[in-house]
Structure 1
């Protein structure tokens, strides 16, 4: 699916990126505090450090800001996962490391991820499919790690099982972000990662049990 373009009257690509990064940072804070609909473009401009007139040189409407926020958050999560997840090793250890890294990214980016899921429903009909497609791309990273384990003989799973396990990992990472307020009263992040990984691996490979 082709990337959705947000028109800008400014032609300098470096300046567009700089201003939109400022805009996104300010908008995330505001959306978390007030929500998308209660936040005004004037407030976004102020939080970004420039005037409302300057803001409209880089977007056409407030919904463009929400799209840029969601697109940026997905890109940040994906880029960090691509840097640290080894899809070629084909070992249980690489799967455990992939899970741990993803959960830690979810912890560090909790505010951004919460905003994205709370406000994604307000995306336009043409923007929402593009943004959601990025979720499937990240789930596919876990599928690749699992498939690598199947190729090396470390796991024996059917395709439907691989897909569901990859989705389970993705959701379990998000759960820490959504319910950290409750879960951190019971577990540290490391304990949560260890327990979730152990439960997952016990279900798919009787010998692949994470050490407590």
Structure 2
């Protein structure tokens, strides 16, 4: 699945990157508060700090902004995970560290995760498969960590169990963002991480 190209009339790549980053930051807050469909391109331009005419020098339509937002969020999460997660260390402690780091990233990017959870469904039929493929690549990171633990004799899981547990880890991290209105009344981030890690690992530890 190839990366979707969003044409720009401006030829300066550095300027395109700068303006689109401004656009992404402004759009995230608007999409969080109003949703994608109720947000106008004029509002996105204003939140980005430039005119609507300037906005259309960097995108073709509002759906392009949503795609850029989703693509940027997944790239940032993936890049942060790739830096910190040790795929080859097949120990339970390493798995717990990976879960902790991912949950912390979800905490740091609560607004972005919420926008992804709520608005990805509004992506075009061409853009959605590409963005969802990125999510599956991140789930695969946890599959690799889990499989390393299985291979090392730390966890008792078959291939199907590994696949489902990796998805569970991914969703439980996101849950801290989209259920925060309830969870943060009862738990600190540290408490949430500890509780979820225990639940995710206790049934499959050797």
TM-score by length of 1: 0.94
Aligned residue runs from structure 1 range 81-160, under 5 A: 81-160=81-160
Residue 185 of structure 1 deviates from its aligned partner by 1.9
Cα-Cα RMSD? 1.0
Q: Report runs of 4+ in structure 1 exceeding 2 Å deviation.
A: none
Residue by residue over 1:105-164, the C-alpha shift from the partner in whole angstroms, topping out at 9 and shown as x without a partner, is: 111111111112211121111011111111100100000101111222222321101000
Cα distance in 2, alignment partners of residues 122 and 199 from structure 1: 33
In structure 2, the partner of 1:177 is 177
In structure 2, the partner of 1:70 is 70
Contact 2:147/2:162 (8 A) holds in 1: yes
Report the 3-state secondary structure (helix = DSSP H, G, I; strand = E; otherwise coil) of the residue aligned with 2:185.
coil
In structure 1, the partner of 2:30 is 30
Cα distance in 2, alignment partners of residues 103 and 34 from structure 1: 26
Cα distance in 2, alignment partners of residues 187 and 26 from structure 1: 30
Cα distance in 1, alignment partners of residues 6 and 20 from structure 2: 11
Report the 3-state secondary structure (helix = DSSP H, G, I; strand = E; otherwise coil) of the residue aligned with 2:202.
helix
Structure 2 unaligned runs (5+)?
A: none
Cα distance in 2, alignment partners of residues 12 and 153 from structure 1: 53
In structure 2, the partner of 1:209 is none
Aligned positions, number: 206
Report the 3-state secondary structure (helix = DSSP H, G, I; strand = E; otherwise coil) of the residue aligned with 2:203.
helix
In structure 2, the partner of 1:44 is 44
Residue by residue over 1:49-94, the C-alpha shift from the partner in whole angstroms, topping out at 9 and shown as x without a partner, is: 1111111111000100011011111111111111111111111111
Cα distance in 1, alignment partners of residues 14 and 80 from structure 2: 22
In structure 1, the partner of 2:16 is 16
Residue 13 of structure 1 deviates from its aligned partner by 1.3
The structure showing larger relative contact order (alpha-carbon pairs under 8 Å, at least 6 residues apart) is: 2
